[in-house]
């Protein structure tokens, strides 16, 4: 299951919770999570109601915190998460959101994360919003989250530090850290809160996925506006674009060649299917490198971001792969004198047509045995050939 946050009026933590409850998440489950965090009803109460935002029905979740509350540090949040009854994945993702928020506040105020005393992270409503959002996504089995461009307003607001401009400095830091796309809001004011920005920065990819829609949920904001103040969560299954590929490429003529290897490593780590470099000549016969990467279509933006961050290029071209022919493949392990080596077996119509040892396995085994890589590669290739021959003989019988 995947989700797409459509943000015509921005996002706050309670709007995120409203979307999840409107999508079918139980508000009683949210209350149980609050109780597991050790927060009493005197510190925090949660209400959910159906409201109208203009002509649209939506769910409004209110996290009512006590007027006087203990403003916790990041270390306090970590202890709360360690002691609560939530899956490790939920705790880890929630802590990652809090850490992003803490780092943003620290950058804004020019101090370390350990030094800062920030109610923005430690306040009870932020704790409930963030942990609830992460837990709700897990309970609804939304494995991947995407988001639209973020609408940002303008103006001034008061906080514990005095008057600050809008968008809030921490909000801008959080969005800038992930190169989030922004658009002008429909009116002045704060339409994306630091909590909302932290959730987006940690949990979402900023692109609209190809998906088969199953449900549309509406989360209401508390502020009145001349338009429906809602966030929309589209829920569904990823469709066949997940099997489609695009080719990213860019010409680079001003970068130290030693840096191309880490570029390749980071592209592969981010999900590229293949990466290659081609020597080319540019205008005035300048030598250059054509960097090419074959990537899943639904990860185009993430891989493009890697190229921008890791190279000196100013632009990346995108080519849609209209057709491709691809063999089925399986991974088998073969025994050699140097240990087990993985082998990629290629199949056509169920018939094995070839098998190739995994180079990294061969390289590692060669280093451990202090022999040439080719020696291990030859041994693995011979063992792989036995798989082909055994399959061929079985078919002949």
pLDDT recorded at residue 119: 53
The CB-based long-range contact list for 26-30 (8 Å cut-off, 24+ gap) reads 27/61, 29/135, 29/136, 29/139, 30/61, 30/128, 30/132, 30/135, 30/136
Q: Is 328-396 the same fold as 242-320? A: no
| Domain chopping of the chain, boundaries | 2-238, 242-320, 328-396
Long-range contacts of residues 98-102, Cβ cutoff 8 Å, at least 24 apart: 98/74, 98/130, 98/198, 99/74, 100/174, 100/177, 100/198, 100/201, 100/202, 101/126, 101/130, 101/170, 101/174, 101/194, 101/195, 101/198, 102/74
Q: What pLDDT score was predicted for residue 12?
A: 95
pLDDT in tens, the chain (397 residues): 899 999 999 999 999 999 999 999 999 999 999 888 887 666 778 899 999 998 999 999 998 876 555 667 888 888 888 888 888 889 899 999 999 998 998 888 888 887 766 454 447 888 899 999 999 999 999 988 999 999 999 999 887 667 889 999 999 999 998 889 999 999 999 999 999 999 999 999 888 888 889 999 999 998 888 899 999 999 998 775 556 889 999 999 999 999 999 999 999 998 899 999 999 998 888 899 999 999 988 889 999 999 999 999 999 999 988 667 778 888 888 899 999 999 988 888 778 888 899 999 999 999 999 999 999 999 999 998 887 777 665 555 5
pLDDT given for residue 307 in this prediction: 96
Inter-residue contact 276 to 294 (CB < 8 Å): no
**CATH topology classification for 328-396:** Ubiquitin-like (UB roll) (3.10.20)
Q: Is 230 buried (19+), middle (13-18) or exposed (0-12) by CB count in 10 A?
A: buried
pTM exceeding 0.85: no
Q: What's the pLDDT score for residue 303?
A: 94
CA distances from 18 to 23, 231, 326, 332 (A): 8, 9, 44, 47
Give the model's pLDDT for residue 85: 82
Q: How far apart, in Å, do the first and last CA atoms of the chain sit? A: 45
From the number of C-beta atoms within 10 Å of its C-beta (0-12, 13-18, 19+), residue 233 rates as buried
CA distance 236 to 145: 11
242-320 placed in CATH 3.30.70.1380: yes
Is the bond preceding residue 167 a cis peptide, omega within 30 degrees?
A: yes
Query: What is the 3-class SS of the chain, one letter each residue?
Result: CEEEEECCCCECHHHHHHHHHHCCCCHHHHHHHHHHCCCCCCCEEEEEEEEEECCEEEEEEEEEECCCCCCCCHHHHHHHHHHCCCCHHHHHHHHHHHHHHHHHHHHHHCCCCCCCCCHHHHCHHHHHHHHHHHHHHHHCCCCEEEECCEEECCEEEEECCEEEEECCHHHHHHHHHCCCCEEECCCCCCCECHHHHHHHHHHEECCCCCEEEEEEEEEECCCCCCCCCEEEEEEEEECHHHHCEEEEEEEECCCCHHHHHHHHHHHHHCCCCEEEEEEEECHHHCEEEEEEEEEEHHHHHHHHHHHHHHCCCCCCEEEECCCCCCCEEEEEEEEECCEEEEEEEEEECCEEEEEEECHHHHHHHHHHHCCCHHHHHHHHHHHHHHHHHHHHHHHHC
């Amino acid at each position: 299951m995947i989700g797409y946050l459509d943000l015509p009026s921005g996002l706050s933590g309670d709007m995120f919770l409203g979307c999840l409850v409107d999508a079918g998440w139980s508000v009683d489950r949210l209350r149980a999570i609050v109780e597991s965090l050790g927060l009493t009803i005197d510190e925090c109460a949660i209400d959910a109601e159906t409201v109208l935002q203009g002509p649209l029905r939506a769910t409004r979740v209110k996290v009512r915190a006590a007027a006087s509350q203990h403003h916790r540090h990041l270390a306090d949040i970590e202890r709360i998460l360690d002691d609560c009854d939530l899956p490790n994945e939920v705790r880890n993702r929630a802590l990652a959101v809090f850490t992003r928020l803490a780092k943003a506040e620290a950058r804004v105020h020019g101090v370390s994360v350990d030094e800062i005393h920030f109610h923005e992270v430690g306040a009870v409503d932020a704790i409930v919003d963030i942990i609830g959002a992460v837990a709700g996504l897990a309970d609804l089995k939304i494995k991947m989250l995407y988001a639209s461009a973020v609408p940002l307003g303008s103006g001034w607001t008061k906080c514990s530090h005095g008057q600050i401009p809008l968008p809030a400095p921490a909000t801008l830091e959080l969005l800038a850290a992930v190169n989030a796309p922004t658009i002008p809001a429909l009116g002045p004011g704060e339409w994306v809160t630091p909590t909302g920005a932290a959730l987006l920065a940690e949990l979402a990819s900023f692109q609209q996925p190809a998906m088969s829609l199953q449900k549309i949920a509406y989360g209401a904001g508390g502020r009145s506006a001349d338009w429906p103040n809602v966030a929309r969560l589209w829920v569904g299954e990823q469709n066949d674009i997940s099997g489609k590929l695009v080719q990213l490429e860019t010409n680079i003529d001003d970068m130290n060649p030693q840096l191309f290897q880490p570029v390749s490593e980071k592209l592969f780590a981010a999900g590229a299917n293949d990466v290659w470099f081609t020597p080319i000549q540019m205008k005035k016969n300048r030598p250059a490198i054509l960097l090419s990467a074959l990537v899943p279509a639904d990860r185009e933006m993430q891989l493009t971001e890697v190229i921008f961050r890791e190279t000196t290029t100013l632009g990346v071209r995108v080519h849609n792969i209209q057709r491709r022919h691809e063999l089925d493949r399986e991974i088998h392990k073969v025994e050699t004198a140097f240990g087990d080596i993985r082998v990629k077996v290629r199949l056509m119509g169920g018939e094995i047509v070839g098998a190739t040892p995994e180079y990294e396995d061969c390289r590692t085994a060669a280093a451990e045995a202090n022999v040439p890589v080719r020696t291990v590669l030859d041994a693995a290739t011979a063992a792989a050939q036995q798989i082909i021959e055994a399959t061929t003989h079985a078919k002949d019988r």
